[in-house]
Structure 1
Amino acid sequence: MEDENKSNSQEERPKSKALPLFIFLFLASLALCAFLFFKYAKTAKIIQQKNVDLEIAYKILDLKADSLQSELDFTLEQLENRINENLALEDLKEDLREKLVAQKATLASARTRIGRLIAAGGASSESSNGGPKNLLEAKSLITSLQQSNTEYLTKVEQVQHDYAEAKTLAQENGAKASEFRVENDSLIDINTVLEKKLSTASILRIAGLTTLAIREKKGKQEIVDKASKVERLKLSFSVLASELTEKEKKEITIRIIEPNGAVLTKNTSTLSSSDDLITLSETLTYDGTEKGIAYYYDQEASYKKGTYKVELYHNDKLLDRTTFKLR
């Protein structure tokens, strides 16, 4: 009997331990279900509120697929026309031209993307949340597209305006520099002409070189052509006028060459035919005006028959020559 009671008491002990655990798990599951229920209810309420707000916004904007498509087309047309106007500028900077061409491609991509949203929104039923949402997103993208591109094109036009002003200023400065260059070249030309005039003005120009054989008879000069009667030679010439305004001393060298090629010098009838020998060396004052000059050559030795040559030099440059003949 005692053994049977012990057996019953041992069976009741495990049952008494399992009951509290079961109750705990049951209560925990109830709490978890309640938590999930309230969380779902809260989330559903938020989603429902968003849908309500979306419906309200959709109704306020009165969005329609056709009107949005028209707005998109109008916006893109305005932007593309503005881009084309800038591209038509002849002096448009090349880097800006490349950027504007790339921007046209960007607008084409935006047209495709926004057009798909509008098409999806228009195809959805009014009760579907996808329709209003797509149309609202399309509306937002159109607004953003217009604003961002307008700002971008304004910056591009400002850069082009600054570039055009700088180019105009550079051209004006270039024109002024060209004018200064022309004026400077003109001054150089004038100076060159003046230098040439001055250089040529100081050069003696001789004309009318003549040589006469003369003798003194009764206090007068008589022209003779017989070698035995010649007492002196008269050399005369004219110094031509020039633009020289200051007086200058000019050295004149005269060579009289006998028929045999010898150069006459004073007190000598014949000398070596060297080019270094001279007959006369005179100094005249030259002021640029035309004047007649006469020099005389005398020698004790008698003159020979034949043709004589007369050469007139200045600074080793032959200015004139003539001949005369004695019989």
Structure 2
Amino acid sequence: MENHKSTNALKAVILVLSILLLGSLFYIYKLSTDTRELQTQVTSTKTEKNTILKDLQDLKATYDAAIAEKTEISDELIEEREKVVGLMAQLEKSKGDAAAMAKYKKQLVELQAKMKNLMQEVEVLKKENTKLTTNLDSTKVVLADAKNYNQVLVGQNEELSKTVEKGSKLTVLNLKTATFKLRSSGKQIETDKASRVDFLRVSFTIAENSIAKSGDKTYYVQIIDSKNNVLGEKTTADFNGQSLTYSFTASVKYENKTLQVIHDLPGKSFEKGTYFVNLYDKTELVSKSSFTLR
């Protein structure tokens, strides 16, 4: 009887131990399964975090390129880029749970949609700017052509003015000087002997010029003897800071036709040697000659 009780007790212990063993095995299996699921979930969440972060980096790069275009919506592009940068900072600090990833993914989709709309607007603005630039370049070409044409006209006008000015200048010809002795009878005898000369006669011709300005004209005659003395009046005139000492002036009324000018310069004790005669139109030397007395 006691043996039978001992056997039943042993069977009960074995049954309890078996149940505990099965329970332990089931717990270990469940724990192992939960651990693998957790590891899988963590790995999946980390991968999703990296994917979202990569998409955000691509968004930022797109905005950087668009902002560099400097369009009319650059301020709005900068504002959206800052949102992307802010979300990237939040994501990097996140522990990466599934709920957070779902929230970040939703925000990413919204930012991508906004970016798509803005990029379409940027493309439209770029096309308009290209068109405006093309029109501006065409306008610049037209203006440049007009400017060049005007410069050509100005150059032609300047050349024409110079030609007219040059052509309108009077030409002086045949500047000559003759020396005379005046007898008591009034007869004039030409001589080249210094001691006998009583006056000099300077003559020159103003050529005909139909485009020259007609009216009163004054020439300044300068006669210099062999000792470098100016004969005659020895008057000095000033022309805009330039001075000229002359022997006499020859004033005529020019009417665009050939005009002979003659002027006498009396004197005493003329020196022997070579004399130089210079004819000036103010300070411009227009003709010169020389003669010699013995």
TM-score normalised to structure 2 length = 0.50
Are 2:81 and 1:104 equivalent residues in the alignment?
A: yes
The one-letter code matched in structure 1 to 2:139 is N
Counterpart position of 2:211 = 246
RMSD, aligned α-carbons: 5.2
Change (3 A) 1:209 1:120: same
Aligned residue among 66, 83, 103 for 1:86: 66
Structure 1 residue runs of 5 or longer lacking an equivalent are 1-63, 122-130, 216-221, 264-271
**1:255 Cα deviation after fit:** 4.3
The residue type equivalent to 1:119 in the other structure is: G
1:12-46 Cα deviation digits (max 9, x unpaired)? xxxxxxxxxxxxxxxxxxxxxxxxxxxxxxxxxxx
CA deviations 1:132-158 (Å, max 9, x no partner) are: xx6665554343222122112333443
Structure number with the higher strand fraction is 2
Distance apart, 1:224 and its partner CA? 4.6
Q: Secondary structure of 2:170's match?
A: coil
Q: Aligned residue for 2:16?
A: none
Residues 297 and 106 of structure 1, relative CA distance in 2, 3 Å threshold: closer
Residues 1:173 and 2:139 aligned together: yes
**Distance change (3 Å), C-alpha of 1:249 and 1:138:** closer
Check the 8 A contact 1:254/1:312 in 2, yes or no: yes
Residue 204 of structure 1, aligned match among 161, 170, 181: 170
Match of 1:34 in 2: none
- For the 8 Å contact 1:206–1:238, the answer to whether it is kept is yes
Q: Which has the larger radius of gyration?
A: 1
Structure 2 equivalent of residue 320 of structure 1: 287
3-state secondary structure, aligned to 1:72: helix
Matching residue's letter, 1:235: S
Q: State how far apart, in whole Å, the 2-side matches of 1:257 and 1:140 are.
A: 109
Q: 141, 149, 155: which one pairs with 2:115?
A: 149
SS of the equivalent of 2:192 reads coil
Match of 2:41 in 1: none
Equivalent position SS for 1:119: coil
Q: CA deviation digits over 1:300-323, x for unaligned, max 9?
A: x89864466644344685533444
Judged with a 3 Å threshold, the aligned counterparts in structure 2 of structure 1 residues 278 and 135 are, in CA distance, closer, same or farther, namely: closer
Match 1:191 to one of 134, 157, 161? 157
Question: Residue 253 of structure 1: CA displacement?
Answer: 3.8
1:256–1:303 distance in 2 versus 1, CA, 3 Å: farther
Amino acid at match of 1:107: V
Which residue of structure 1 aligns with residue 192 of structure 2? Answer: 225
Tell me how far 1:101 sits from its aligned partner: 5.0
Letter in 2 for 1:246: I
User: How far off its partner does 1:87 sit?
Assistant: 4.8
Which residue matches 2:6?
none
Q: Do the aligned residues in 1 keep the contact of 2:168 with 2:211 (CA within 8 Å)? A: no
Residue 211 of structure 2 aligns with an amino acid whose one-letter code is E
Q: CA deviation at 1:182?
A: 4.0
Query: Residues 242-293 of structure 1: CA distance to partner in whole angstroms, max 9, x if unpaired?
Result: xx87355473646486979664xxxxxxxx6657985754455659xxx9x8
The aligned counterpart of 1:235 is 203
Once the two structures are overlaid, the 10-residue window that deviates more, 228-237 or 168-177, is 228-237
Instruction: State the distance in 1 between where 2:213 and 2:108 align.
Output: 93
Task: For 1:147, give the aligned amino acid.
Answer: A
Looking at structure 1, the residues matched to 271 and 135 of structure 2 have their Cα atoms a distance apart, in angstroms, of 81
Aligned sequence identity (%) = 16
- The secondary structure found in structure 1 opposite 2:291 is strand
Q: How does 1:269-284 map to 2 (within 5 A)?
A: 278=248, 280-283=250-253
Name structure 2 gaps, 5 residues minimum.
Answer: 1-43, 182-188, 237-245
- 1:119 alignment partner, one of 89, 96, 100: 96
CA 1:74–1:319: 2 relative to 1, 3 Å: same
Q: How far has the Cα of 1:95 moved from its partner?
A: 7.5
Distance 2:107 2:234 in 1: 111
